[in-house]
Amino acid sequence: MRNHDLPALERRTRGKSRFDDDEPQFLKRGRPTEPLADPDSEPDPDTGERWSSWDDAVHGPDPHPAWLVTELAAKDTELGVLKTGKEADVHLVRRAVPDTDRSCLLAVKRYRDPEHRLFHRDAGYLEGRRVRRSRENRAMAGRTAFGRQMIAGQWAAAEFAALARLWEIGAGHDRIAVPYPVQLRGTELMLEFVGDAESGEAAPRLAQLRPDPTELRDLWAQLVEALRVLARAGYAHGDLSPYNLLVHQGRLVVIDLPQVVDVVANPQGPEFLARDVRVVGAWFAARGLPAEQVDPGVLTAELLHEAGLR
């Protein structure tokens, strides 16, 4: 089951900076994001355990959920790989305090080494994101080894910042489900595990399901509301598809947000938003939702209006 009750979301304050990769607000109040050199960070070869990295990381929004283990005496145990990808792998980790019943499951997203990652999509997504130092900007533009490491850090920081922001938003009846962002440490994100806490089985992706007509309509309504909330916050997912939407106990959960796009600051923002709508709309239409309900042009226009662009 999910580890918490999802909070309602509120409209974002207009005019507040949506995106600052150089020094976002959650980093200002958190710890440094670079991993610390720590001989205890290597897992025990016999047990696979390592000390919790909570004390070295940027933390998710306050208040922390009750299920989250934050004790410094906790240990993290690797349980396996949940997902492999071109840019990051997601691992399952149990964080527990030895000799107590305090434990939780976490999904740990680790971005690949810069030499082994594919940055074929960077240019469009990174428009509108700037760091203040010209050396870093030149390195990123030239795709030097240092520049690629900077980009990897931007992916991680962007995803963490977006999840933290979406988690904190809440007013009225606006709702969106995202995993709670537990911590950020360098290019490693620890997130709430969405799935069965007993078996460690992750919630299925939307693409894996064959919902009946009633379920299909309900999931579409949830998705439209999630897109509205994203647009009000100034975001487009940027890579939305049935493969990065989970369905857990009837609830649609939005995941995989490293490429999140600021629809105002990024000149291509409206195009990314329109593509998100087309891709998910086509999936729902192919499974029987009436075409007039998934008209991409109508929904895109509505979302751009919500984002203040029309």
Determine which one of 239, 262, 276, 295 is catalytic: 239
- Distance separating alpha carbons of residues 89 and 219, to the nearest angstrom: 27
**pLDDT in the model for residue 4:** 45
From 251, 232, 127, select the one nearest 192 (Cα to Cα).
251
User: What's this model's pTM, rounded to 2 decimal places?
Assistant: 0.78
Q: Enumerate the β-bridge partners of residue 80.
A: 92
Residues 6 or more apart whose Cβ sits within 8 Å of residue 271? none
Q: Are 82 and 107 in contact (CB under 8 A)?
A: yes
Residue environment code for 244-279, b if the CB has 16+ CB neighbours within 10 A, otherwise e: bbbbbeebbbbbbbbbbbbbbbbebbbebbbbbbbb
pLDDT in tens, 233-261: 999 999 999 999 999 999 999 999 998 99
- Distance separating alpha carbons of residues 8 and 171, to the nearest angstrom: 6
Helix (H, G, I), strand (E, B) or coil at 233: coil
Determine which one of 21, 122, 256, 262 is catalytic: 256
Q: Are 281 and 224 in contact (CB under 8 A)?
A: no
- Distance separating alpha carbons of residues 200 and 100, to the nearest angstrom: 20
Q: Is 239 a catalytic residue?
A: yes
What are the structure tokens assigned to 20, written together?
């600052």
Tens of each residue's pLDDT in the chain, 310 residues: 555 443 333 333 333 333 333 333 444 444 333 433 343 456 666 667 899 999 999 999 999 999 999 999 999 999 999 998 878 999 999 999 999 999 999 999 998 765 544 444 555 555 555 444 554 445 445 555 555 556 666 788 889 999 999 988 753 345 789 999 999 998 899 999 999 999 999 999 999 999 999 999 999 999 999 999 999 999 999 999 999 999 999 999 999 999 899 999 999 999 999 999 999 999 999 999 999 999 999 999 999 999 998 7
Q: Is 22 a catalytic residue?
A: no
Chain-wide mean pLDDT for the chain? 80
Residues 6 or more apart whose Cβ sits within 8 Å of residue 11? 169, 171, 172, 174, 232
Q: Are 110 and 92 in contact (CB under 8 A)?
A: no
